[in-house]
Structure 1
Amino acid sequence: MEWNDVLIIGSGVAALQLATLLSSDKNVRILTKSHIKNANSYLAQGGIAAAIGVGDDPSKHYADTLEAGRFHNNEESVREILNEAPKLIGDLSNEAPIFDQDTNGNILLGLEGAHSENRIVHCGGDATGKNVIEYLISNLKENIKVEENVFAYELIIDQMQERCIGVKAKNPDGTICTFYGGYVILATGGCGQVYSFTSSAPTVTGDGVAMAYLAGAEIVDMEFIQFHPTLLYKNGETQGLISEAVRGEGAILVTEDGTPIMEGVHPLKDLGPRHIVSQTIFNYIESGHKVYLDIKNIKDFEKKFPSITAICQKNGVSLSEGRIPVAPGSHFLMGGIKTDLVGRTSINGLFAIGEVACTGLHGANRLASNSFLEGLYQGKKLSHWINTNSRKEHFPESPSAVPFIQEKSITLPDVQVLKDRMMKGVGIVRSKELLEEQNNWLEQLHVNDLTEFDCYSIRDIEAIFMYITATLITKAALCRTESRGGHFRDDFPYEDDKNWYKKVIIHKRKVEV
């Protein structure tokens, strides 16, 4: 056993921002289930939203965020994070020249859906995530140890202290390791892989939400899943994200005969809020149409969007035709583990930051490029709190690894069955009938009754976590009898303005509304 002052589970922007800003006298360990760069943050094509342009102001950014979130947001969280955004960008810009600039050395600002001003900062055109993550990795100090290919699966709760003190994890060979920490931070990302169409990395399977739920933490707003309008769609499958910045540069959504589909749907047309654009595309596809991004008006597309160009070329989509086939897919979890702005959960000693956490910033629908901003903010905020609240503990000596335990298999439908059912029943358009059908199917599998995971393989535990997370999404979606943001029910198609701020909070074996 080795004691860690800070134990971080995950390796996205929030995790790495936290690690780099912790004081060098802290013993820090990062656990990541795959390679340190194999995360949604690294894949992020979009940018970071900050009101730094001439004529822009955090108050405008605030108004846009509330409008996109359909006023379900925590206003204190929105105000504090967005007010901090210009400084976060300024600090990063001063430390490293990673942001795209014009010929005069000013940071270029792009436009994305539902923003009233150009305020999206990018790196390398459409490779913001890659550039920021590589910069943060380069800043990891000697006091930070990174353990790759280590799958964390169970939080350790000291019942005497009523505090989270560590985590159990498995190595690829099946051996179990125990890691202890004064502060245990979940930064495991969202749950995009629960759906068949998704922009998420293969590693994003809801692990952190499931672990926290099983440990007794409060989970909130799980019904609010953002479906990105434009994933590359080829041969019936989604193959990667086509950034909203493409529409910001002038691309429009059209049918196979060139008919614009967003005309008359929303005042912002193709740059309307993501849930409206996604629902519109979904309706056209359900009616038998194909939907494309018409990029003919974008000059130097390959230069502006090198990552997207590579995705298209890899999948045999010729950009010379001037259009890219698209479909909506799961992109971002607005809900998650309920936290305050520091990242504190309802379990003492357990923190959550990044997409796995729910601070209330995003409300019912995330405003484009606010998530990377939130990760930077949370990493900085929690680092400051830890640096000024040192904690030392002593635990009984125990081995850091135990011998291989004979594994047993669990009988669950293949995860592809789950993904397809979630896309159909708990996807872009929902109804009581489909939600109840999915909920009954999930309950019959009894995954929430499992309490012992040591004997299962990494693959089986990951599947269990996906099923648990899917159950949380489904139950929350059943509880919200209205349409708001990323949650649309065709049996309750309007917003319920009398109960607009009610929260669906799920504990182990209990749901509160």
Structure 2
Amino acid sequence: MKWRSIMHKADVIIVGSGLAALMVAYHLCEHKNVIVFTKSNKEVSNSWLAQGGVAAAIHPADHWLSHYEDTITTGCEHNDDEAVRILVQEGREAIEQFMHLGFSFDVDERGELLFGREGAHRMRRILHAGGDATGKKMVEFLFEKLSSRVLFIENDPVIDLLVNDGRCVGVRTKNGLYVAEATIVATGGIGQLYTFTSNVETATGDGIAMAYRVGAAVADMEFVQFHPTMLYVDGKAVGLISEAVRGEGATLVTDDGRHVMDGVHPQKDLAPRDIVSRAIDREMKNGHLVFLDISAIPHFSSRFPTITSLCERYQINWRSGLIPVVPGAHFLMGGIVVNVDGETTLPGLYAVGEAACTGVHGANRLASNSLLEALVFSRRVAFRLLQKMERRSVMEKSEKKESNERISLPTKEQIQQTMTQYVGIVRDYDQLLQAKQWFEQYSIHKLVNMASEHDDEKRTIIYMLIVGWLITTSALQRKESRGAHYRSDEPFEKMYWEKRRIVRTKTEHLIKEGFR
């Protein structure tokens, strides 16, 4: 298929408008012409919803090595060592730089930074803003900084990446073609593939699917983190209850008064998220409801105004001390394979944030490391681009052959049901194989070649099918239990904190020649 006449050019195109995208844009906008594309309104991102804070070893009693060890332990030693060291060592500088720009984190009555604690952290090192509105505050701050310096194109979804002579040269959106020296995927996660999720409606894995279509490698897709505490109302997950609530003393209890985490893990309610999620999942499969007991937290409404408002919106009486919860898909540790400077396996294409797989999170993300990841690695992506960008001519052709073949597609709800039932918190071979066969009835290889030729709804379904298939087949490849990937059929099952030799092996998906 010939491209239409090229109408728009930029130095850098960024796909997505979360914190990672905005930070890259900020670091580049003084030097390059930057366009940011959003699938919906620019405020619609997981960063905007992030109630938790930013983890960093800033407190005088803290040290980057402690943060490093907590990150590695939670990641079940599947982490990339270099990436983790960069995260925890450069984290302090990144946060101090952000504060130097004028951003304010929460402080006590003496004006000293307040440090919260969340799951699997051995000490208080979490900075918050607006109590439980950290992500929103940070994103709003950057919107103000970027309003006159970056072009935001809202409600114009990127539907394909343009490739010429083995290099990514721009994007195709719903409304036009844009070429650039560098294209950065910062589209966030895949939570909407599951029935229960903390993610925004647009988090359907589009960026990962598009990168995979044009030949970029993806890895570790089986590692999907489920947040233990989503507000559970009438059989639906309607919003996140931050881990910071448990960090301030809340505990998980069943409807018959038992403490869910007693005897499960030494850190009890502040155990890593995968362990807490499995414990809740087990109770619910045994017919029990699970609640977050917040009765020990003084001044709950002022400490957690966003969560209080969420409860009141759904007529949940938080003053009773009990908030009903359910685990929900929250964060993808895998994604588009990148090095520590955000470079993918496809020249000209970069990725940052949740859509990228640096290996920094290993098999399970440590709480509040995601916003820190956005701050730290966005700087590295920007600096790398400024070092190497050069002008390139772009031919008006595409290497990808599109197909207009008619296909039958499932509904979004059917994909969510399949992923939740067979590729959820607890997995086994038979369930994963059943999911794989379900996905492959829709001819995944054909979908890779034809996704961009459909309307918005069908294209989203196709990208969800591709990503769901990637997660499922990756989960089949990894026969061990590790972190967020839990196989109930693993022989001689061991809990992750037991001492054992662990060898890190990625489950990688490379585009096959037959897919082109």
TM-score of the two chains, using structure 2 as the length reference: 0.94
Question: Counterparts of 2:317 and 2:391 in 1: how far apart (Å)?
Answer: 58
Question: Counterparts of 2:37 and 2:478 in 1: how far apart (Å)?
Answer: 35
* Residue 36 (str. 1) matches residue 42 (str. 2): yes
Aligned CA distance change for structure 1 residues 219 and 300 (closer, same or farther; 3 Å)? same
Q: Which ranges of structure 2 fall in alignment gaps of 5 or more residues?
A: 1-6
The residue identity in structure 2 corresponding to 1:202 is E
Displacement of 1:438: 0.5
Give 2:362's aligned residue. Answer: 363
Question: Counterparts of 2:341 and 2:485 in 1: how far apart (Å)?
Answer: 27
Displacement of 1:320: 1.6
Question: Counterparts of 1:409 and 1:313 in 2: how far apart (Å)?
Answer: 46
For the residue of structure 1 that corresponds to 2:464, the secondary structure is: helix
Question: Counterparts of 2:206 and 2:323 in 1: how far apart (Å)?
Answer: 33
Question: Counterparts of 1:15 and 1:472 in 2: how far apart (Å)?
Answer: 24
* Residue 435 (str. 1) matches residue 432 (str. 2): yes
Deviation readout 1:433-468 (Å, 9 max, x if unpaired): 000000011111113312134431011101100110
Question: Counterparts of 1:388 and 1:434 in 2: how far apart (Å)?
Answer: 47
Give 2:421's aligned residue. Answer: 424
* Residue 464 (str. 1) matches residue 462 (str. 2): yes
Give 1:154's aligned residue. Answer: 160
Question: Counterparts of 1:152 and 1:262 in 2: how far apart (Å)?
Answer: 43
> 1:60-209 alignment to 2 at 5 Å?
60-140=66-146, 142-159=148-165, 162-171=166-175, 177-209=176-208
Question: Counterparts of 2:147 and 2:410 in 1: how far apart (Å)?
Answer: 44
Question: Counterparts of 1:8 and 1:447 in 2: how far apart (Å)?
Answer: 27
Contact 2:39 2:154 in 1 (8 A): yes
Question: Counterparts of 1:129 and 1:303 in 2: how far apart (Å)?
Answer: 18
Give 1:230's aligned residue. Answer: 229
Question: Counterparts of 1:123 and 1:503 in 2: how far apart (Å)?
Answer: 35
Give 2:4's aligned residue. Answer: none
Question: Counterparts of 1:42 and 1:377 in 2: how far apart (Å)?
Answer: 18
Question: Counterparts of 1:272 and 1:453 in 2: how far apart (Å)?
Answer: 40
Question: Counterparts of 1:52 and 1:84 in 2: how far apart (Å)?
Answer: 11
Question: Counterparts of 1:148 and 1:476 in 2: how far apart (Å)?
Answer: 33
Question: Counterparts of 1:80 and 1:444 in 2: how far apart (Å)?
Answer: 43
Displacement of 1:97: 3.9
Question: Counterparts of 1:429 and 1:191 in 2: how far apart (Å)?
Answer: 18
Contact 1:72 1:364 in 2 (8 A): yes
Contact 1:25 1:143 in 2 (8 A): no
Contact 2:352 2:374 in 1 (8 A): yes
Q: Which ranges of structure 1 fall in alignment gaps of 5 or more residues?
A: 172-176, 399-404
For the residue of structure 2 that corresponds to 1:388, the secondary structure is: helix
Displacement of 1:409: 6.8
Aligned CA distance change for structure 1 residues 59 and 347 (closer, same or farther; 3 Å)? same
The residue identity in structure 2 corresponding to 1:227 is F
Deviation readout 1:107-149 (Å, 9 max, x if unpaired): 1100000001100000000000110000111111644211000
The residue identity in structure 1 corresponding to 2:410 is P
Aligned CA distance change for structure 1 residues 104 and 499 (closer, same or farther; 3 Å)? closer
Give 1:401's aligned residue. Answer: none
Aligned CA distance change for structure 1 residues 98 and 378 (closer, same or farther; 3 Å)? same
Question: Counterparts of 1:317 and 1:46 in 2: how far apart (Å)?
Answer: 21
Question: Counterparts of 1:455 and 1:352 in 2: how far apart (Å)?
Answer: 24
RMSD of aligned Cα (Å): 1.9
* Residue 45 (str. 1) matches residue 31 (str. 2): no
Give 1:327's aligned residue. Answer: 326
Deviates more, 1:22-31 or 1:418-427: 22-31
Give 2:408's aligned residue. Answer: 411
Contact 2:20 2:378 in 1 (8 A): yes
Question: Counterparts of 2:471 and 2:451 in 1: how far apart (Å)?
Answer: 22
For the residue of structure 1 that corresponds to 2:237, the secondary structure is: strand
* Residue 389 (str. 1) matches residue 388 (str. 2): yes
Question: Counterparts of 1:484 and 1:443 in 2: how far apart (Å)?
Answer: 26
Deviation readout 1:131-177 (Å, 9 max, x if unpaired): 00001111116442110001112111112xx2100111114xxxxx1
Q: How many residues align?
A: 498
Deviation readout 1:67-118 (Å, 9 max, x if unpaired): 0000000011000111011111111122224200111211110000000110
Question: Of residues 446, 450, 458 in structure 1, which corresponds to 2:443?
Answer: 446
For the residue of structure 1 that corresponds to 2:146, the secondary structure is: coil
For the residue of structure 2 that corresponds to 1:261, the secondary structure is: coil
Question: Counterparts of 1:270 and 1:397 in 2: how far apart (Å)?
Answer: 56
Deviation readout 1:180-218 (Å, 9 max, x if unpaired): 110010000010000001000001000011001111111
Displacement of 1:368: 0.1
* Residue 479 (str. 1) matches residue 485 (str. 2): no
Question: Of residues 480, 504, 507 in structure 2, which corresponds to 1:501?
Answer: 504
